[in-house]
Copies of this chain bind each other. A is one copy, B any other.
Amino acid sequence: MNPVAVVVTGKSSTDAVAQDMSLLDDFTWQGASAMEMQWRVERFLSRYAACIDDDALESWPAFFATDVCHYEIITRENVERGMPLALMFCTSQGMLFDRIVSLREANIYPQRWYRHVISNVLIQSVDEDSLTVQSNYVVFQTRRNGQTDIFSAGKYLDRIVMRDGELKFAEKRVIADTHRVDTLLVAPI
C-alpha cells in the first residue's frame, strides 16, 4: 500500500485526512520535533523551488534519493478518473538526468522563466523511514515578452526520507489541476 495514493483517491479518504490530521500534530522523527521537521521540510521545498526557478536544472535530480526514486506529473482529472497516465514519469535518478538533457537539447523554443509559490505545507503521516507531506503549488511563467501568467497549479504529494543527513524525495507526485498542453516538452514542476 502506498500511503500517498490513499490521500488522492476519493472524498471519503480526504475527509478522514481532514479529521485525523490533528492526531499527527505532535511527533518526533529521527530525534527532531514536529515543529523542527516542519521547518526543515519547508526549507527543503524552498531549495527545490529555487533550483528550478534559477534554471539550475542540472542540480534538480540531486533532490531525489538514489535508492528509491519516483517522480510523476499527473493531472488531477486523471487521478480522479483512476487513469494512471502521467505527463512525466521517472523511476530513477538517471531518468531525471535524461529528462534535463532532453530539455536542454530541445530548447529551441522561446525560453521562459518559472517562479514557484509553494504554500500550506502539511506533514500528513510519519513512519520510521519517511515523512508524507502535502503542499499546494502554483508555478508562474514569464515569457520573453515580459508577461507573467499561471503555468500550473496543483498539489505536491511527497514522501521524504533522510539520506546522509539530508532530506531527499523518495517519491514526488505532482497532481496538476491545470491540464493545458501548450508546451511540447514538459519541464519539471
* Chain A residues with a Cβ under 8 A of chain B: 11, 14-15, 17-19, 21-22, 25, 35-36, 38-40, 43, 45-47, 49-51, 53-56, 58-59, 62, 75-77, 113, 115-122, 134, 136, 138, 140, 142, 146-150, 152-155, 166, 177-180
Q: Are B120 and A45 in contact (CB under 8 A)?
A: yes
Which single member of B18, B35, B62, B152 contacts A50 (CB below 8 Å)? Answer: B18
* Least CB separation from A119: chain B residue: B117
* Least CB separation from A122: chain B residue: B46
* Least CB separation from A45: chain B residue: B120
B-side contacts of A15, CB under 8 Å: 56, 58-59
B-side contacts of A150, CB under 8 Å: 140, 148-150
Majority secondary structure, A binding face:
mixed
* Least CB separation from A134: chain B residue: B50
A40–B35 CA distance with the chains assembled, in angstroms: 9
CB distance from A24 to the nearest CB of B (A): 9
Q: Are B153 and A177 in contact (CB under 8 A)?
A: no
Copy count, this protein chain? 3
Q: A115-B154, A116-B136, A150-B148 are in contact. Are A54 and B18 (CB under 8 A)?
A: yes
* Least CB separation from A113: chain B residue: B177
A136–B120 CA distance with the chains assembled, in angstroms: 12
Q: Are B18 and A76 in contact (CB under 8 A)?
A: no
B-side contacts of A121, CB under 8 Å: 46
Q: Are A14 and B54 in contact (CB under 8 A)?
A: yes
B-side contacts of A46, CB under 8 Å: 119-122
Q: Are A19 and B122 in contact (CB under 8 A)?
A: no
* Least CB separation from A135: chain B residue: B46
